[in-house]
Structure 1
Protein backbone atom coordinates (compact mmCIF):
# COMPACT_ATOMS: atom_id res chain seq x y z
CA UNK A 1 0.00 0.00 0.00
CA UNK A 2 2.87 2.40 0.81
CA UNK A 3 4.36 1.77 -2.63
CA UNK A 4 0.99 2.57 -4.25
CA UNK A 5 0.68 5.83 -2.32
CA UNK A 6 4.25 6.76 -3.20
CA UNK A 7 3.62 6.05 -6.89
CA UNK A 8 0.50 8.25 -6.86
CA UNK A 9 2.52 10.98 -5.17
CA UNK A 10 5.20 10.70 -7.84
CA UNK A 11 2.65 10.86 -10.65
CA UNK A 12 1.04 13.93 -9.07
CA UNK A 13 4.48 15.56 -8.94
CA UNK A 14 5.04 14.69 -12.62
CA UNK A 15 1.67 16.16 -13.65
CA UNK A 16 2.30 19.29 -11.57
CA UNK A 17 5.67 19.70 -13.25
CA UNK A 18 4.07 19.39 -16.69
CA UNK A 19 1.41 21.90 -15.69
CA UNK A 20 3.95 24.45 -14.51
CA UNK A 21 6.03 24.03 -17.66
CA UNK A 22 3.17 25.05 -19.96
CA UNK A 23 0.71 27.91 -20.19
CA UNK A 24 -0.97 28.57 -16.83
CA UNK A 25 -4.65 27.79 -16.47
CA UNK A 26 -6.84 30.65 -15.30
CA UNK A 27 -10.32 29.99 -13.98
CA UNK A 28 -12.74 32.82 -14.60
CA UNK A 29 -15.74 32.96 -12.25
CA UNK A 30 -19.03 32.61 -14.08
CA UNK A 31 -22.70 32.68 -13.20
CA UNK A 32 -23.69 30.70 -16.28
CA UNK A 33 -26.04 27.75 -15.60
CA UNK A 34 -24.32 24.38 -15.36
CA UNK A 35 -25.27 20.98 -16.70
CA UNK A 36 -27.04 18.63 -14.31
CA UNK A 37 -24.62 16.29 -12.51
CA UNK A 38 -24.59 12.57 -13.30
CA UNK A 39 -26.90 11.60 -10.43
CA UNK A 40 -27.21 8.03 -11.76
CA UNK A 41 -23.49 7.28 -11.40
CA UNK A 42 -22.01 4.99 -8.76
CA UNK A 43 -18.33 4.49 -8.00
CA UNK A 44 -16.46 1.75 -6.19
CA UNK A 45 -13.89 2.40 -3.46
CA UNK A 46 -10.92 2.90 -5.76
CA UNK A 47 -8.09 5.25 -4.81
CA UNK A 48 -7.50 6.08 -8.47
CA UNK A 49 -10.82 7.98 -8.48
CA UNK A 50 -9.63 10.37 -5.78
CA UNK A 51 -6.38 10.80 -7.68
CA UNK A 52 -8.16 11.63 -10.94
CA UNK A 53 -10.54 14.07 -9.25
CA UNK A 54 -7.67 16.11 -7.82
CA UNK A 55 -7.99 19.57 -9.42
CA UNK A 56 -4.27 19.92 -10.16
CA UNK A 57 -4.07 16.43 -11.64
CA UNK A 58 -7.19 17.02 -13.73
CA UNK A 59 -5.82 20.27 -15.16
CA UNK A 60 -2.53 18.59 -16.02
CA UNK A 61 -4.22 15.60 -17.63
CA UNK A 62 -6.32 17.93 -19.80
CA UNK A 63 -3.17 19.58 -21.09
CA UNK A 64 -1.60 16.21 -21.83
CA UNK A 65 -4.73 15.06 -23.68
CA UNK A 66 -4.91 18.31 -25.66
CA UNK A 67 -1.25 18.00 -26.64
CA UNK A 68 -1.58 14.46 -27.97
CA UNK A 69 -5.10 14.53 -29.46
CA UNK A 70 -5.69 17.98 -30.97
CA UNK A 71 -3.99 17.32 -34.33
CA UNK A 72 -5.63 13.92 -34.81
CA UNK A 73 -9.02 15.44 -34.03
CA UNK A 74 -8.55 18.22 -36.59
CA UNK A 75 -7.94 15.62 -39.31
CA UNK A 76 -10.96 13.60 -38.20
CA UNK A 77 -13.33 16.58 -38.20
CA UNK A 78 -12.30 17.58 -41.71
CA UNK A 79 -13.90 14.32 -42.87
CA UNK A 80 -17.07 14.76 -40.81
CA UNK A 81 -20.26 16.79 -40.97
CA UNK A 82 -21.70 18.62 -37.99
CA UNK A 83 -25.20 17.69 -36.86
CA UNK A 84 -27.61 20.56 -37.56
CA UNK A 85 -31.38 20.84 -37.65
CA UNK A 86 -31.22 21.77 -41.33
CA UNK A 87 -29.10 18.81 -42.43
CA UNK A 88 -30.29 15.99 -40.13
CA UNK A 89 -33.66 17.17 -38.73
CA UNK A 90 -34.81 13.81 -37.29
CA UNK A 91 -31.48 12.97 -35.67
CA UNK A 92 -31.14 16.53 -34.40
CA UNK A 93 -34.52 16.25 -32.68
CA UNK A 94 -33.54 12.97 -31.04
CA UNK A 95 -30.20 14.35 -29.88
CA UNK A 96 -31.75 17.54 -28.53
CA UNK A 97 -34.31 15.54 -26.54
CA UNK A 98 -31.56 13.32 -25.09
CA UNK A 99 -29.60 16.39 -23.97
CA UNK A 100 -32.71 17.87 -22.37
CA UNK A 101 -33.59 14.62 -20.59
CA UNK A 102 -30.13 14.39 -19.02
CA UNK A 103 -30.07 18.06 -18.10
CA UNK A 104 -27.51 19.55 -20.50
CA UNK A 105 -27.61 23.34 -20.71
CA UNK A 106 -25.42 23.40 -23.83
CA UNK A 107 -25.43 20.49 -26.25
CA UNK A 108 -21.99 19.05 -27.05
CA UNK A 109 -21.30 19.33 -30.77
CA UNK A 110 -22.07 16.12 -32.64
CA UNK A 111 -20.44 15.10 -35.92
CA UNK A 112 -21.42 12.37 -38.37
CA UNK A 113 -18.33 10.68 -39.76
CA UNK A 114 -17.22 7.90 -42.08
CA UNK A 115 -13.93 7.72 -40.17
CA UNK A 116 -15.49 5.54 -37.45
CA UNK A 117 -16.38 2.09 -38.74
CA UNK A 118 -19.44 -0.01 -37.99
CA UNK A 119 -22.09 1.00 -35.46
CA UNK A 120 -20.05 3.14 -33.14
CA UNK A 121 -19.72 6.49 -31.40
CA UNK A 122 -16.96 8.32 -29.57
CA UNK A 123 -16.90 11.12 -27.00
CA UNK A 124 -14.02 13.59 -26.76
CA UNK A 125 -13.15 16.69 -24.80
CA UNK A 126 -10.27 18.62 -26.35
CA UNK A 127 -9.24 22.17 -25.48
CA UNK A 128 -12.42 22.64 -23.46
CA UNK A 129 -14.73 21.61 -26.30
CA UNK A 130 -17.15 18.71 -25.78
CA UNK A 131 -17.61 16.61 -28.90
CA UNK A 132 -19.38 13.43 -29.94
CA UNK A 133 -18.54 11.53 -33.13
CA UNK A 134 -21.20 9.20 -34.52
CA UNK A 135 -20.50 6.73 -37.30
CA UNK A 136 -22.51 7.05 -40.50
CA UNK A 137 -23.43 3.37 -40.17
CA UNK A 138 -25.14 4.05 -36.84
CA UNK A 139 -27.43 6.64 -38.42
CA UNK A 140 -28.43 4.12 -41.10
CA UNK A 141 -28.89 0.88 -39.15
CA UNK A 142 -30.29 2.03 -35.80
CA UNK A 143 -33.91 2.89 -35.03
CA UNK A 144 -34.87 5.85 -32.85
CA UNK A 145 -34.72 4.09 -29.47
CA UNK A 146 -31.38 2.50 -30.29
CA UNK A 147 -30.02 5.89 -31.33
CA UNK A 148 -31.30 7.37 -28.08
CA UNK A 149 -29.34 4.80 -26.11
CA UNK A 150 -26.06 5.23 -27.97
CA UNK A 151 -26.32 9.04 -27.87
CA UNK A 152 -27.30 8.99 -24.20
CA UNK A 153 -24.33 6.74 -23.45
CA UNK A 154 -21.90 9.22 -25.01
CA UNK A 155 -23.58 12.15 -23.27
CA UNK A 156 -23.21 10.19 -20.03
CA UNK A 157 -19.44 10.23 -20.45
CA UNK A 158 -19.51 14.00 -20.83
CA UNK A 159 -21.83 14.37 -17.84
CA UNK A 160 -19.50 12.33 -15.64
CA UNK A 161 -16.62 14.60 -16.64
CA UNK A 162 -14.21 11.70 -17.06
CA UNK A 163 -13.27 11.76 -20.73
CA UNK A 164 -9.78 13.12 -20.22
CA UNK A 165 -9.09 10.15 -17.95
CA UNK A 166 -10.10 7.73 -20.71
CA UNK A 167 -7.71 9.51 -23.06
CA UNK A 168 -4.88 9.27 -20.57
CA UNK A 169 -5.68 5.59 -20.04
CA UNK A 170 -4.99 5.08 -23.74
CA UNK A 171 -1.67 6.88 -23.37
CA UNK A 172 -0.82 4.66 -20.41
CA UNK A 173 -1.40 1.59 -22.59
CA UNK A 174 1.16 2.92 -25.07
CA UNK A 175 3.66 3.83 -22.36
CA UNK A 176 3.19 0.51 -20.60
CA UNK A 177 4.06 -1.53 -23.68
CA UNK A 178 6.96 0.70 -24.74
CA UNK A 179 8.87 0.85 -21.44
CA UNK A 180 10.62 -2.18 -19.99
CA UNK A 181 11.40 -0.32 -16.75
CA UNK A 182 8.16 1.53 -16.00
CA UNK A 183 5.75 -0.90 -17.67
CA UNK A 184 5.40 -3.30 -14.71
CA UNK A 185 5.12 -0.43 -12.22
CA UNK A 186 2.35 1.21 -14.25
CA UNK A 187 0.52 -2.08 -14.61
CA UNK A 188 0.59 -2.89 -10.90
CA UNK A 189 -0.09 0.50 -9.36
CA UNK A 190 -2.00 2.56 -11.93
CA UNK A 191 -3.18 0.59 -14.94
CA UNK A 192 -5.21 -2.10 -13.16
CA UNK A 193 -7.27 0.26 -10.95
CA UNK A 194 -7.51 2.73 -13.84
CA UNK A 195 -9.07 0.09 -16.09
CA UNK A 196 -11.45 -0.95 -13.32
CA UNK A 197 -12.42 2.71 -12.94
CA UNK A 198 -12.94 3.00 -16.72
CA UNK A 199 -15.18 -0.06 -16.77
CA UNK A 200 -17.36 1.45 -14.04
CA UNK A 201 -17.66 4.66 -16.05
CA UNK A 202 -19.00 2.58 -18.96
CA UNK A 203 -21.68 1.08 -16.71
CA UNK A 204 -22.63 4.59 -15.60
CA UNK A 205 -22.79 5.80 -19.21
CA UNK A 206 -25.09 2.88 -20.03
CA UNK A 207 -27.46 4.13 -17.34
CA UNK A 208 -27.51 7.53 -19.04
CA UNK A 209 -28.26 5.76 -22.31
CA UNK A 210 -31.16 3.91 -20.71
CA UNK A 211 -32.56 7.16 -19.26
CA UNK A 212 -32.68 8.52 -22.81
CA UNK A 213 -33.99 5.29 -24.33
CA UNK A 214 -36.34 3.94 -21.64
CA UNK A 215 -36.68 0.51 -23.26
CA UNK A 216 -34.57 -2.47 -22.14
CA UNK A 217 -35.71 -4.46 -25.20
CA UNK A 218 -34.26 -1.78 -27.46
CA UNK A 219 -30.98 -2.06 -25.56
CA UNK A 220 -31.05 -5.84 -26.10
CA UNK A 221 -31.55 -5.39 -29.84
CA UNK A 222 -28.77 -2.81 -30.04
CA UNK A 223 -26.27 -4.96 -28.16
CA UNK A 224 -27.11 -7.93 -30.40
CA UNK A 225 -26.42 -5.76 -33.44
CA UNK A 226 -23.10 -4.85 -31.84
CA UNK A 227 -22.21 -8.53 -31.48
CA UNK A 228 -23.27 -9.47 -27.96
CA UNK A 229 -22.95 -13.19 -27.26
CA UNK A 230 -25.53 -15.04 -25.20
CA UNK A 231 -22.87 -16.55 -22.92
CA UNK A 232 -19.40 -15.35 -21.92
CA UNK A 233 -16.74 -17.98 -21.40
CA UNK A 234 -14.58 -18.07 -18.27
CA UNK A 235 -11.62 -17.08 -20.43
CA UNK A 236 -13.43 -13.98 -21.70
CA UNK A 237 -14.38 -13.01 -18.17
CA UNK A 238 -10.72 -13.31 -17.15
CA UNK A 239 -9.49 -11.27 -20.13
CA UNK A 240 -12.05 -8.59 -19.37
CA UNK A 241 -10.12 -7.70 -16.21
CA UNK A 242 -7.33 -6.42 -18.45
CA UNK A 243 -9.64 -4.22 -20.53
CA UNK A 244 -10.83 -0.68 -19.93
CA UNK A 245 -14.06 -1.44 -21.78
CA UNK A 246 -16.36 -4.18 -20.37
CA UNK A 247 -17.84 -6.81 -22.67
CA UNK A 248 -21.33 -6.25 -24.02
CA UNK A 249 -22.76 -9.17 -22.04
CA UNK A 250 -21.31 -7.74 -18.81
CA UNK A 251 -22.70 -4.30 -19.60
CA UNK A 252 -26.14 -5.74 -20.32
CA UNK A 253 -26.11 -7.82 -17.13
CA UNK A 254 -25.21 -4.77 -15.05
CA UNK A 255 -27.91 -2.66 -16.70
CA UNK A 256 -30.59 -5.31 -16.19
CA UNK A 257 -29.81 -5.36 -12.46
CA UNK A 258 -30.88 -1.76 -11.97
CA UNK A 259 -32.89 -0.63 -14.98
CA UNK A 260 -36.18 -0.88 -13.05
CA UNK A 261 -34.83 1.47 -10.38
CA UNK A 262 -33.83 4.19 -12.86
CA UNK A 263 -36.42 6.93 -13.21
CA UNK A 264 -37.34 7.42 -16.86
CA UNK A 265 -39.80 10.01 -18.15
CA UNK A 266 -41.53 8.17 -20.96
Structure 2
Protein backbone atom coordinates (compact mmCIF):
# COMPACT_ATOMS: atom_id res chain seq x y z
CA UNK A 1 0.00 0.00 0.00
CA UNK A 2 1.44 3.44 -0.90
CA UNK A 3 2.65 5.71 1.90
CA UNK A 4 1.59 9.32 2.37
CA UNK A 5 4.42 11.79 2.69
CA UNK A 6 4.61 13.95 5.83
CA UNK A 7 5.90 17.53 5.94
CA UNK A 8 7.87 18.23 9.14
CA UNK A 9 8.21 21.97 9.78
CA UNK A 10 5.39 22.86 7.40
CA UNK A 11 4.04 26.39 7.89
CA UNK A 12 0.71 27.79 6.76
CA UNK A 13 2.55 30.40 4.70
CA UNK A 14 4.14 27.58 2.69
CA UNK A 15 0.87 26.71 0.97
CA UNK A 16 -1.44 29.70 1.45
CA UNK A 17 -3.16 30.84 -1.74
CA UNK A 18 -1.89 34.29 -2.86
CA UNK A 19 -5.46 35.59 -2.86
CA UNK A 20 -5.79 34.57 0.78
CA UNK A 21 -2.59 36.41 1.68
CA UNK A 22 -3.75 39.52 -0.17
CA UNK A 23 -7.28 39.44 1.29
CA UNK A 24 -5.93 39.01 4.82
CA UNK A 25 -3.66 42.04 4.41
CA UNK A 26 -6.54 44.10 3.02
CA UNK A 27 -8.86 43.06 5.84
CA UNK A 28 -6.40 44.23 8.49
CA UNK A 29 -6.46 47.70 6.92
CA UNK A 30 -10.25 48.11 7.13
CA UNK A 31 -11.14 50.80 9.69
CA UNK A 32 -12.74 49.29 12.78
CA UNK A 33 -11.58 45.72 12.18
CA UNK A 34 -9.26 45.81 15.19
CA UNK A 35 -12.24 46.79 17.38
CA UNK A 36 -14.24 43.80 16.19
CA UNK A 37 -11.35 41.42 16.87
CA UNK A 38 -11.07 42.84 20.39
CA UNK A 39 -14.80 42.27 20.95
CA UNK A 40 -14.44 38.63 19.87
CA UNK A 41 -11.98 38.07 22.68
CA UNK A 42 -14.04 40.09 25.16
CA UNK A 43 -17.36 38.32 24.53
CA UNK A 44 -15.97 34.77 24.72
CA UNK A 45 -18.02 33.55 21.74
CA UNK A 46 -15.67 30.61 21.53
CA UNK A 47 -16.67 29.25 24.93
CA UNK A 48 -20.40 29.55 24.25
CA UNK A 49 -20.20 27.67 20.96
CA UNK A 50 -17.89 25.05 22.44
CA UNK A 51 -20.37 24.25 25.21
CA UNK A 52 -23.27 24.15 22.75
CA UNK A 53 -21.28 21.87 20.46
CA UNK A 54 -20.31 19.37 23.14
CA UNK A 55 -23.92 19.22 24.32
CA UNK A 56 -25.44 18.66 20.88
CA UNK A 57 -22.93 16.64 18.84
CA UNK A 58 -20.90 13.42 19.09
CA UNK A 59 -17.16 13.68 19.69
CA UNK A 60 -14.82 11.55 17.61
CA UNK A 61 -12.42 9.46 19.73
CA UNK A 62 -10.37 6.29 19.22
CA UNK A 63 -13.48 4.32 20.22
CA UNK A 64 -16.18 6.60 18.76
CA UNK A 65 -15.96 6.74 14.96
CA UNK A 66 -12.40 5.30 15.07
CA UNK A 67 -11.80 5.70 11.32
CA UNK A 68 -12.50 9.42 11.51
CA UNK A 69 -10.20 9.66 14.50
CA UNK A 70 -7.46 7.91 12.55
CA UNK A 71 -7.89 10.37 9.66
CA UNK A 72 -7.63 13.24 12.12
CA UNK A 73 -4.37 11.85 13.45
CA UNK A 74 -3.06 11.27 9.92
CA UNK A 75 -3.94 14.82 8.88
CA UNK A 76 -2.14 16.27 11.89
CA UNK A 77 0.91 14.11 11.25
CA UNK A 78 1.09 15.05 7.57
CA UNK A 79 0.53 18.79 8.15
CA UNK A 80 2.76 18.90 11.25
CA UNK A 81 0.09 19.91 13.75
CA UNK A 82 1.22 18.97 17.27
CA UNK A 83 -2.11 18.91 19.10
CA UNK A 84 -5.10 17.40 17.26
CA UNK A 85 -8.22 19.55 17.70
CA UNK A 86 -11.43 17.99 18.94
CA UNK A 87 -13.58 16.61 16.11
CA UNK A 88 -17.36 16.17 16.23
CA UNK A 89 -20.13 14.77 14.04
CA UNK A 90 -23.47 16.56 13.93
CA UNK A 91 -26.81 15.35 12.57
CA UNK A 92 -27.50 17.77 9.72
CA UNK A 93 -28.96 17.32 6.20
CA UNK A 94 -26.60 19.94 4.74
CA UNK A 95 -23.20 19.11 3.26
CA UNK A 96 -20.92 21.05 5.56
CA UNK A 97 -17.77 21.03 7.67
CA UNK A 98 -16.42 23.86 9.77
CA UNK A 99 -13.80 24.80 12.31
CA UNK A 100 -14.57 27.09 15.23
CA UNK A 101 -12.63 28.61 18.09
CA UNK A 102 -9.36 30.49 18.41
CA UNK A 103 -7.63 29.45 21.64
CA UNK A 104 -9.10 25.93 21.49
CA UNK A 105 -10.38 25.20 17.97
CA UNK A 106 -12.74 22.33 17.30
CA UNK A 107 -14.00 20.83 14.03
CA UNK A 108 -17.46 19.63 13.04
CA UNK A 109 -18.57 17.41 10.14
CA UNK A 110 -22.21 16.97 9.20
CA UNK A 111 -23.78 13.54 8.86
CA UNK A 112 -25.02 14.31 5.35
CA UNK A 113 -21.51 15.14 4.13
CA UNK A 114 -20.05 11.99 5.64
CA UNK A 115 -22.76 9.90 3.97
CA UNK A 116 -21.60 10.86 0.45
CA UNK A 117 -17.83 10.77 0.96
CA UNK A 118 -15.61 7.74 0.58
CA UNK A 119 -12.76 7.14 3.05
CA UNK A 120 -10.09 9.16 1.26
CA UNK A 121 -12.50 12.03 0.66
CA UNK A 122 -13.17 12.14 4.40
CA UNK A 123 -9.43 12.58 4.96
CA UNK A 124 -9.43 15.44 2.44
CA UNK A 125 -12.26 17.25 4.24
CA UNK A 126 -10.69 16.76 7.68
CA UNK A 127 -7.32 18.02 6.42
CA UNK A 128 -9.09 20.98 4.76
CA UNK A 129 -10.40 21.97 8.20
CA UNK A 130 -6.97 21.42 9.73
CA UNK A 131 -5.68 23.79 7.05
CA UNK A 132 -7.79 26.58 8.53
CA UNK A 133 -6.05 26.01 11.85
CA UNK A 134 -2.63 25.80 10.24
CA UNK A 135 -3.19 29.08 8.38
CA UNK A 136 -4.57 30.76 11.53
CA UNK A 137 -7.92 31.53 9.92
CA UNK A 138 -9.99 30.75 12.99
CA UNK A 139 -9.85 34.16 14.70
CA UNK A 140 -11.19 35.94 11.63
CA UNK A 141 -13.78 33.21 11.19
CA UNK A 142 -15.06 34.06 14.67
CA UNK A 143 -15.45 37.67 13.53
CA UNK A 144 -17.29 36.63 10.36
CA UNK A 145 -19.68 34.28 12.15
CA UNK A 146 -20.60 36.90 14.75
CA UNK A 147 -20.47 40.05 12.63
CA UNK A 148 -24.00 41.28 13.38
CA UNK A 149 -23.61 40.91 17.16
CA UNK A 150 -20.17 42.52 17.10
CA UNK A 151 -21.33 45.52 15.08
CA UNK A 152 -24.16 46.14 17.51
CA UNK A 153 -21.69 46.04 20.42
CA UNK A 154 -19.25 48.37 18.70
CA UNK A 155 -22.11 50.71 17.79
CA UNK A 156 -23.10 51.08 21.44
CA UNK A 157 -19.63 52.27 22.43
CA UNK A 158 -18.98 54.39 19.33
CA UNK A 159 -22.28 56.30 19.24
CA UNK A 160 -23.64 54.43 16.25
CA UNK A 161 -20.45 54.13 14.23
CA UNK A 162 -20.88 50.36 14.24
CA UNK A 163 -23.23 50.52 11.26
CA UNK A 164 -20.70 52.56 9.33
CA UNK A 165 -17.96 50.12 10.22
CA UNK A 166 -20.19 47.26 9.10
CA UNK A 167 -20.86 48.82 5.73
CA UNK A 168 -17.14 48.91 5.03
CA UNK A 169 -16.29 45.56 6.57
CA UNK A 170 -18.91 42.99 5.58
CA UNK A 171 -17.86 42.64 1.94
CA UNK A 172 -14.08 42.55 2.61
CA UNK A 173 -14.70 39.98 5.34
CA UNK A 174 -16.75 37.74 3.04
CA UNK A 175 -14.09 38.18 0.35
CA UNK A 176 -11.45 36.97 2.82
CA UNK A 177 -13.73 34.10 3.90
CA UNK A 178 -13.97 32.78 0.33
CA UNK A 179 -10.26 33.12 -0.37
CA UNK A 180 -9.29 31.40 2.88
CA UNK A 181 -11.08 28.32 1.55
CA UNK A 182 -8.61 28.12 -1.34
CA UNK A 183 -5.71 27.77 1.11
CA UNK A 184 -7.55 25.12 3.12
CA UNK A 185 -8.19 23.13 -0.08
CA UNK A 186 -4.43 23.02 -0.60
CA UNK A 187 -4.02 21.55 2.89
CA UNK A 188 -6.56 18.88 1.97
CA UNK A 189 -4.55 17.98 -1.12
CA UNK A 190 -1.30 17.87 0.87
CA UNK A 191 -2.95 15.22 3.04
CA UNK A 192 -4.50 12.93 0.41
CA UNK A 193 -1.77 13.56 -2.21
CA UNK A 194 -4.10 12.70 -5.08
CA UNK A 195 -5.83 15.51 -7.02
CA UNK A 196 -8.55 13.10 -8.16
CA UNK A 197 -9.77 12.78 -4.56
CA UNK A 198 -10.11 16.56 -4.27
CA UNK A 199 -12.00 16.79 -7.56
CA UNK A 200 -14.40 14.09 -6.42
CA UNK A 201 -15.18 16.06 -3.25
CA UNK A 202 -15.88 19.21 -5.24
CA UNK A 203 -18.18 17.33 -7.61
CA UNK A 204 -20.18 15.97 -4.71
CA UNK A 205 -20.44 19.39 -3.10
CA UNK A 206 -21.76 20.79 -6.36
CA UNK A 207 -24.31 18.11 -7.21
CA UNK A 208 -23.72 14.90 -5.33
CA UNK A 209 -27.13 13.27 -5.16
CA UNK A 210 -26.42 9.89 -3.57
CA UNK A 211 -28.33 7.98 -6.25
CA UNK A 212 -26.23 9.62 -9.00
CA UNK A 213 -22.71 9.44 -7.57
CA UNK A 214 -21.66 6.51 -9.75
CA UNK A 215 -22.56 8.47 -12.88
CA UNK A 216 -20.44 11.56 -12.13
CA UNK A 217 -17.62 12.16 -14.63
CA UNK A 218 -14.52 14.21 -13.64
CA UNK A 219 -13.68 15.24 -17.22
CA UNK A 220 -17.17 16.65 -17.70
CA UNK A 221 -16.88 18.58 -14.45
CA UNK A 222 -13.59 20.12 -15.59
CA UNK A 223 -15.25 21.02 -18.92
CA UNK A 224 -17.95 22.80 -16.94
CA UNK A 225 -15.25 24.89 -15.25
CA UNK A 226 -13.93 25.98 -18.63
CA UNK A 227 -17.44 26.83 -19.80
CA UNK A 228 -17.97 29.04 -16.76
CA UNK A 229 -14.66 30.79 -17.35
CA UNK A 230 -15.59 31.39 -20.99
CA UNK A 231 -18.58 33.44 -19.84
CA UNK A 232 -16.40 36.50 -19.42
CA UNK A 233 -17.08 37.69 -22.94
CA UNK A 234 -18.82 40.88 -21.87
CA UNK A 235 -18.76 43.42 -19.07
CA UNK A 236 -22.31 42.37 -18.20
CA UNK A 237 -21.29 38.74 -17.69
CA UNK A 238 -18.44 39.82 -15.42
CA UNK A 239 -20.86 41.97 -13.42
CA UNK A 240 -23.26 39.04 -13.03
CA UNK A 241 -20.40 36.84 -11.78
CA UNK A 242 -19.57 39.44 -9.15
CA UNK A 243 -23.19 39.73 -8.03
CA UNK A 244 -23.70 35.99 -7.59
CA UNK A 245 -20.42 35.62 -5.68
CA UNK A 246 -20.05 38.69 -3.48
CA UNK A 247 -22.33 37.56 -0.61
CA UNK A 248 -21.17 33.93 -0.52
CA UNK A 249 -19.01 32.59 2.30
CA UNK A 250 -17.50 29.86 0.08
CA UNK A 251 -16.33 29.90 -3.54
CA UNK A 252 -18.36 27.85 -6.01
CA UNK A 253 -17.11 24.23 -6.03
CA UNK A 254 -16.07 24.47 -9.68
CA UNK A 255 -13.89 27.47 -8.86
CA UNK A 256 -12.30 25.65 -5.94
CA UNK A 257 -11.50 22.79 -8.30
CA UNK A 258 -10.03 25.19 -10.83
CA UNK A 259 -7.71 26.91 -8.35
CA UNK A 260 -6.48 23.65 -6.87
CA UNK A 261 -5.87 22.22 -10.35
CA UNK A 262 -3.86 25.33 -11.25
CA UNK A 263 -1.68 24.85 -8.17
CA UNK A 264 -0.94 21.34 -9.40
CA UNK A 265 -0.58 22.04 -13.13
CA UNK A 266 1.60 25.14 -12.63
CA UNK A 267 4.03 23.25 -10.40
CA UNK A 268 3.41 24.84 -7.00
CA UNK A 269 2.22 21.58 -5.45
CA UNK A 270 5.21 19.60 -6.77
CA UNK A 271 7.65 22.30 -5.67
CA UNK A 272 6.37 22.18 -2.11
CA UNK A 273 5.93 18.43 -1.79
CA UNK A 274 8.59 16.97 -4.04
CA UNK A 275 5.90 14.70 -5.44
CA UNK A 276 5.49 14.10 -9.16
CA UNK A 277 3.20 16.45 -11.06
CA UNK A 278 -0.32 15.14 -11.34
CA UNK A 279 -3.57 16.44 -12.72
CA UNK A 280 -7.14 16.17 -11.61
CA UNK A 281 -7.79 13.86 -14.53
CA UNK A 282 -5.42 11.23 -13.15
CA UNK A 283 -6.65 7.85 -11.97
CA UNK A 284 -7.05 7.63 -8.18
CA UNK A 285 -4.42 5.65 -6.28
CA UNK A 286 -5.18 2.95 -3.68
CA UNK A 287 -5.93 4.03 -0.14
CA UNK A 288 -2.62 5.15 1.42
CA UNK A 289 -1.28 5.60 4.94
CA UNK A 290 1.16 8.20 6.26
CA UNK A 291 4.79 7.11 6.37
Q: Is 1:253–2:258 an aligned residue pair?
A: yes
Partners of 1:46 and 1:103 in 2: CA distance:
23
Instruction: Sort the Cα spacing of 1:60 and 1:206 in 2 relative to 1 into closer, same or farther, 3 A.
Output: same
Moved more, 129-138 or 204-213: 129-138
1:151 aligns with 2:126: yes
Change (3 A) 1:257 1:61: farther
Preserved contact between residue 93 and residue 112 of structure 2 (Cα < 8 Å)? yes
Match of 1:203 in 2: 182
- CA separation of 1:247 and 1:61: change in aligned 2, threshold 3 A: farther
| Of 38, 48, 66, the match for 1:60 | 38
Contact 2:46 2:100 in 1 (8 A): no
Q: Determine the C-alpha separation between the residues in 1 that align with 2:248 and 2:10.
A: 29
Aligned-residue offset at 1:185: 4.8
2:11 equivalent to 1:37:
yes
Aligned pair 1:186/2:166, yes or no? yes
Q: Aligned to 1:87, which of 24, 44, 64?
A: 64
Q: TM-score, normalised by structure 2?
A: 0.66
Instruction: State whether residues 10 and 80 of structure 2, in contact with CA within 8 Å, keep that contact through their aligned partners in structure 1.
Output: yes
Larger relative contact order, structure 1 or 2 (CA cutoff 8 Å, min sep 6): 2
Task: Give the drift of 1:85.
Answer: 1.3
Alpha-carbon shift at residue 238 of structure 1 (Å): 3.0
TM-score (ref. length: structure 1) = 0.72
From 76, 97, 117, the equivalent of 2:93 is 117
Contact 1:202 1:245 (8 Å CA) reproduced: yes
Kindly report which structure 2 residues correspond to 1:8-23, keeping only aligned pairs within 5 A, or say none: none
CA deviation map 1:16-52 (0-9, x unaligned) = xxxxxxxxxxxxxxxxxx9842121131266434459
User: Aligned to 1:122, what secondary structure does the other structure show?
Assistant: strand
Deviation at 1:218, TM superposition (A): 1.7
Match of 1:243 in 2: 248
> How far has the Cα of 1:59 moved from its partner?
6.7
Q: Which runs of 5+ in 1 are unaligned?
A: 1-33
Unaligned runs of 5+ in 2: 1-7, 208-220, 232-236, 276-287
CA RMSD after TM alignment: 3.2
Question: How many Å separate the matches in 1 of 2:244 and 2:150?
Answer: 20
Aligned to 2:117: 142
